[in-house]
Amino acid sequence: MLHLENISLRLGEADNVVHLLSDVCLQLKPGGQLVAVLGPSGCGKSTLMKVVAGLKEASEGQVHWNGRNLAEERDFEPHEVGYVPQFSIAHERLEVWECIEDAVRLRCGDLDREAIEERVDSVLLEVGMQEIAEKRVDVLSGGQKRRLALGMELVSSPDLLLCDEVTSGLDPKAEDDITALLRAVADKGRIVLNITHSLKHLRSHNSVVVLFKGRLVFHAPPSVLLHYFGISHPEDLYPRLAQRTAEDWANSWAKHRDAYEGLDAGGVLEHDGFGPVPLGNVRVGVLRQWRVLLARRWKLFWRDKGQVRLQLALMLGFPCLVVVFALNGLPALRAAAELPEDPLRQLVSDFATKLEYLKVGGTVSGLIMFQVVLLTLMGANNAAREIAGERLILEKEKFSGVSPMAYVASKVCFLAVLVLVQSVWMSLFVNAIIRMPGNLLSQTFLLVLVNGAMTAVSLGISGVMQTAEQSSLLSVYLVGFQLPLSGAVLALPEWLGKLTRPLIASYWGWAGFLQTLQDTRFYNAVLQMTQTPLMPLGMVLFVLLSQVLLGIGVAYVGCRRERWE
């Protein structure tokens, strides 16, 4: 049984208080019930649904479910409640059966492969999508997407299903089909709360809840709706509500509640279960969720041909840009590399040769900086939209029991592969053409770190930003600051450099890379042409690793925060 006791929700303080809900009392008995929640826009329907779901905390009042206070005792278990929001909760590039299967794997524990397949088939049959199971989500109609959303919530056979305007925006035929589906879902013994603006199918519901300006003004079978409000047609309901204040309507309902709520709604059935498939109500472990999410992420990556082409273009094109940048200085670089050590030191005293020597130092420094800046650009491209681009789906999956830790871990593992491939290819390609002096393994490791640092920071930005556009813009700005603020090419005042350098991955990648040249003749050449202080290699590794951990930590904190709006 679902019992709402004096639920109120207020925003603001003192004279600026806004009452979203006021003293809402509602009781729904167990059994197959389909309940329509009506009211003008802004009356509190979605807010009430979120309070029931635990997505918003009531200022006053209590929500009871099957005899327990959800605020004081344990909250809903993921298998007890399903929530179908107004937005899409499926990835566009997945097929229908894949969405259902992922939902089963993420929500239903203790199921083997055969049981998972049976559950998927059972849900597809229940929502009438078995014939289009292999269609991709992006080609589905609006009504089919609503069916899919319902199916993804039914995988755990919840006893309470919350539907937020699942029929809005549909054509009449699709609206009829979805309402019939909700009726069938309720008839399996569930309580289904259906927020709707449509007054066409009220008689398909067991009862009707009417909210007006945050107050409950009616809850009874649809057969008495017209009589109570003194209207001839359901379409007259909203104009009738506007003729009196919300407080008057609420007071009137308080007087007549007992007489109307006692009427038989009819059609209430006992729970007949989900079918032969076991419920699988055991919580899914973090490790299993991580595997499912990671497999899904790679599947989405390979199906996004535009993203694959962009990654290939960046990975193959950026090293070529580095080589093009080095062409003018490459002869001097190779000539310097072929000279014996002692004659080179003697030649430095010659003014013309010293200029050439400094040119070599500038070329080496520029090559290193160009590589690390391009890798930071790749890092921002890797992760800027990774979380923010699917934020609403994440919120829905968190509600269904997905662990933020498993989610972030799947993103980190996916991005780590991109970082490794990009950085190793950059290092090997540039070294093969230019024959960069120094230890190749150490240089590659530093390029991986600088790419990983910017990728992690961008992932953190993506985790805390509200939209993918905001996240991408901020990450691009951060990349734009890498070159000048690093101080490697454009020297900054020392006090300003001390303030900015700890935050700039390209500086640490550049400085660390240079440390690998200490045993070569190019190290002093670079030192002579730059005014930027170099940090010890240990400090470089510490800062870059700290940026990686900081970015991942911020991403995790951001994923834990609720971002439904």
β-sheet bridge partners, residue 560: none
Pairing of strands 2-11, 18-28: antiparallel
Residue range 269-309, pLDDT digits in tens: 444 433 333 454 567 889 999 999 999 999 999 999 999 99
Last residue of a domain, one of 243, 261, 279: 261
What backbone phi and psi angles, to 5 degrees, belong to 387? -100, -45
235 with 302, same domain? no
DSSP state of 172: H
86 with 163, same domain? yes
For the domain that residue 197 is a member of, what is the CATH number?
A: 3.40.50.300
Are 240 and 230 in contact by the 8 Å Cβ rule? The answer is: yes
Cβ count within 10 A of residue 69 = 13
405 with 547, same domain? yes
253 with 302, same domain? no
Rounded to whole angstroms, the Cα distance separating 205 from 193 reads 10
Collect all residues with Cβ–Cβ distance below 8 Å to 323 and sequence separation of at least 6: 429, 430, 433, 434
* pLDDT tens, the chain, 565 aa long: 899 999 999 887 767 788 899 999 999 887 789 999 999 988 999 999 999 998 888 999 999 998 888 888 778 888 889 999 888 889 999 999 999 999 999 998 778 899 999 999 999 999 999 999 999 999 999 899 999 999 999 998 999 999 998 888 888 898 999 999 999 999 998 999 999 988 888 999 999 999 999 999 999 999 999 999 999 998 999 999 999 999 999 999 999 888 887 675 544 444 443 333 345 456 788 999 999 999 999 999 999 999 999 999 999 999 998 888 766 655 555 555 544 554 445 444 443 444 455 566 667 777 888 899 999 999 999 999 999 999 999 999 999 899 999 999 999 999 999 999 999 999 999 888 887 778 899 999 999 999 999 999 999 999 999 889 999 999 988 888 776 655 554 556 677 767 777 778 888 888 888 888 877 766 776 776 666 777 889 999 999 999 999 999 999 999 999 887 6
Are 54 and 75 in contact by the 8 Å Cβ rule? The answer is: yes
Q: What is the pTM of this model?
A: 0.88
In a domain, 117, yes or no: no
Give residue 251's domain range.
2-95+154-261
For tokens 């449509």, name the residue: 198
* Tally of residues, the chain: 565
Collect all residues with Cβ–Cβ distance below 8 Å to 110 and sequence separation of at least 6: 278, 280, 282
Token code pair at residue 499 = 């303030």
DSSP state of 233: S
The distance of Cα 489 from the centroid of its chain, to the nearest Å, equals 37
Last residue of a domain, one of 239, 261, 283: 261
In a domain, 137, yes or no: no
Are 466 and 508 in contact by the 8 Å Cβ rule? The answer is: no
Cβ count within 10 A of residue 163 = 27
In a domain, 107, yes or no: no
297 with 250, same domain? no
For tokens 């849900």, name the residue: 123
247 with 393, same domain? no
Residue range 448-475, pLDDT digits in tens: 999 999 999 999 999 999 889 999 999 9
Specify the pLDDT at position 500: 73
409 with 542, same domain? yes
**DSSP assignments along 338-365, one per residue:** HS-HHHHHHHTTSHHHHHHHHHHHHHHH
250 with 300, same domain? no
Rounded to whole angstroms, the Cα distance separating 470 from 523 reads 41
Pairing of strands 33-38, 60-65: unpaired
In a domain, 344, yes or no: no
Domains identified in the chain, total number:
2
In a domain, 197, yes or no: yes
208 with 307, same domain? no
